[in-house]
Amino acid sequence: MTGESRTSALLPTFARADLSFERGEGPWLITPQGERYLDFAAGIAVNSLGHAHPHLVEALQAQASKLWHVSNLFQIPEGERLARRLVDATFADTVFFTNSGAESLECAIKMARKYHAVNGNPERYRIVTFEGAFHGRTLATIAAGGQKKYLEGFGPKVEGFDQVPFGDHEALKAAIGPETAAILIEPVQGEGGVRSVPPQCLRGLRELCDQHGLLLIFDEVQTGVGRTGKLFAHQRSGVTPDIMAVAKGIGGGFPMGACLATAEAGKGMTAGTHGTTFGGNPLAMAVGNAVLDVVLAPGFLENVERVSLLMKQRLAEIKDRHPGVIEEIRGEGLLLGIKAKVPNTDLVAALREEKLLSVGAGDNVVRFLPPLIIDDAIVTEAVSKLDRACARIEAAQAQLAKGAAE
């Protein structure tokens, strides 16, 4: 527990739980008092391989004793290698490394605008986005996300984003005009409540983009790097984007991100047009390569799919046992959502009481984002914790009802 008697010196932008951890082991987080929490928050889909993964620790330590940072004024062989591996595994021809998801989106947005500018159409700078989206907290990405609660009080909204309702094809078509540059979408909305875009809709978006000369941008910051059981979520649909933003799981806990693109989409981004001091530094690149070593190893993603299926089945059983608490189970791979019938904050709190960490999302959903390394025994453990958390909520409801009757 931290700072009970003194107020925090941190800017209070987060409503933090009064809980801290000293170390982690795989899917477990351990408090200074030695209490063990099952970590199905995974740093919000960041600790893709759990805590203290030996291969990642070794890669970081080996690099730390050699070289931390040189800047992008010089060649960074580890970055060349990671970019090549990402290109070989995806639609992309080129990669720009960043430090965060929002920066990956900033690169994607700038790239889309620049593409049309160098094509002689600088008036094409607008980007169509979807309600419920989350793309980060910079000025451009809050405008892209379009959520009032994140925009309020921060001055004029950055120009150039047109938001349409999720799944509204007519509104989407109507939003495309002569100034439209791109469509930006998360293949599965994470913060928005684990809402999947059906493969046929992704295909429809691709067609629409081709028809109108627009770039298709996927935000795979949360869904990428194995989270949904494919290396990238869109690979299930057979559709490829022109640009893709990645972060969160790509560093396994080391802050890093990437913007991937086709050579055509990236053609305007020539020397001097964009930059970063920290992005792609040797420490980040060493860890990024180590994450890929594990995620691309034969059988790893198949195991994510298998564990996901098991978890979904077991979660469905819990839903049936507690119909007053759980409304629906949704999601792909190990990006799973439990739509609650009680306030999702109550369910997150009850799970925490059972020492299972989860993350709230929009649409009254609780997210389970376990590390991708979990096995069947961990699924069993998590499911029984959820079962007990639901029972805890039902007991509290019964207590309330009894009180009201008296």
Ligand X SMILES: *Cc1c(COP(=O)(O)O)cnc(C)c1O
Min dist. Cβ of residue 248 to ligand X (A): 6
Min dist. Cβ of residue 45 to ligand X (A): 7
Q: How many CA atoms are closer than 13 Å to the CA of 2, on its beta-carbon side?
A: 12
Min dist. Cβ of residue 194 to ligand X (A): 11
C-beta closer to ligand X: residue 246 or 351: 246
Q: How far apart are CA 354 and CA 385, in angstroms?
A: 6
Residue type, 216: L
Q: Is residue 216 within 8 Å of residue 241, measured between CB atoms? A: yes
What does the block give as tokens for 399? Answer: 């207590």
C-beta closer to ligand X: residue 78 or 186: 186
Min dist. Cβ of residue 257 to ligand X (A): 6
C-beta closer to ligand X: residue 50 or 145: 145
Closest residue by Cα to residue 44 from 150, 136, 179: 136
C-beta closer to ligand X: residue 101 or 370: 101
Q: What does the DSSP assignment read for 181-195? A: EEEEE-SEETTTTSE
Min dist. Cβ of residue 52 to ligand X (A): 22
Q: How far apart are CA 24 and CA 26, in angstroms?
A: 6
Phi first, then psi: give them for residue 332, nearest 5 degrees. -130, 145
Phi first, then psi: give them for residue 61, nearest 5 degrees. -65, -40
Residue type, 109: I
C-beta closer to ligand X: residue 79 or 145: 145
Closest residue by Cα to residue 276 from 297, 293, 254, 259: 259
Min dist. Cβ of residue 199 to ligand X (A): 18
Q: How far apart are CA 82 and CA 77, in angstroms?
A: 9
Min dist. Cβ of residue 367 to ligand X (A): 10
Min dist. Cβ of residue 14 to ligand X (A): 12
C-beta closer to ligand X: residue 101 or 360: 101
C-beta closer to ligand X: residue 99 or 392: 99
Q: How far apart are CA 100 and CA 250, in angstroms?
A: 10
C-beta closer to ligand X: residue 191 or 354: 191
Closest residue by Cα to residue 52 from 74, 27, 69, 77: 27
Min dist. Cβ of residue 321 to ligand X (A): 31
Q: How many CA atoms are closer than 13 Å to the CA of 385, on its beta-carbon side?
A: 24
C-beta closer to ligand X: residue 100 or 180: 100
Q: How far apart are CA 243 and CA 182, in angstroms?
A: 10
Min dist. Cβ of residue 234 to ligand X (A): 13
C-beta closer to ligand X: residue 28 or 130: 130
C-beta closer to ligand X: residue 192 or 342: 192
Cα–Cα distances (Å) from 16 to 12, 13, 41, 204, in that order, read 9, 9, 14, 41
Cβ-closest residue to ligand X? 101
Which contacts qualify for 171-175: CB closer than 8 Å, 24 or more apart? Answer: 172/128, 172/208, 173/208, 175/128
Min dist. Cβ of residue 192 to ligand X (A): 9
What does the block give as tokens for 218? Answer: 């996927």
Which residues bind to ligand X, rule: CB under 6 A? 100-102, 105, 134-136, 186, 190-191, 219, 221-222, 247-248
Cα–Cα distances (Å) from 382 to 209, 214, 318, in that order, read 42, 43, 11
Indicate the SS3 state at residue 72: coil
